[in-house]
């Protein structure tokens, strides 16, 4: 299906474990973004990518790693999950850095 998808949709993990959240888009958009959404903080940018092999930090990058070997995929890895990383994670893509962003359905992550 065309669009932007995220997997898994729900994930429960334990403190200290590594977790990878996947994001895939079929539009060949050059830009991709990862946000987290928390009560009281709204949506905050974690990392973004302007093209394959080009990534940059957002507002809250600590504890996260990203890669972009292919234009259509932008995985987000929590190297050693902490309880403070319990959140809803959204992936987005756009045709340009300042164009309309299209969001995936989100991944709800619970770190115990």
Partner 1 sequence: KQEVTQIPAALSVPEGENLVLNCSFTDSAIYNLQWFRQDPGKGLTSLLLIQSSQREQTSGRLNASLDKSSGRSTLYIAASQPGDSATYLCADIIQGAQKLVFGQGTRLTINP
Binding residues for partner 1, rule: CB under 8 A, are 31, 33, 40-45, 48, 50, 58-59, 90, 92, 97-106
CB of 27 to partner 1, least distance (A): 13
CB of 110 to partner 1, least distance (A): 14
* Residues constituting the chain: 112
- Cα dihedral 27, 33, 36, 39 sign: negative
Partners of 65 in the β-ladder: 77
CA 36 to mean position of chain CA atoms: 8
CB of 16 to partner 1, least distance (A): 28
């Amino acid at each position: 299906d065309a669009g932007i998808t995220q997997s898994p949709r729900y994930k429960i993990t334990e403190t200290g474990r590594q977790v990878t959240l996947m994001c895939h888009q079929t539009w060949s958009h050059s830009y991709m973004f990862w946000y987290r959404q928390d009560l009281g903080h709204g949506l905050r940018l974690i990392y973004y990518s302007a093209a394959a092999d080009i990534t940059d930090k957002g507002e809250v990058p600590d504890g996260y790693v990203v890669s972009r070997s292919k234009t259509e995929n932008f995985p987000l890895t929590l190297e050693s999950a902490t309880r403070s990383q319990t959140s809803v994670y959204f992936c987005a893509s756009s045709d340009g850095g300042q164009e309309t962003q299209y969001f995936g359905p989100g991944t709800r992550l619970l770190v115990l």
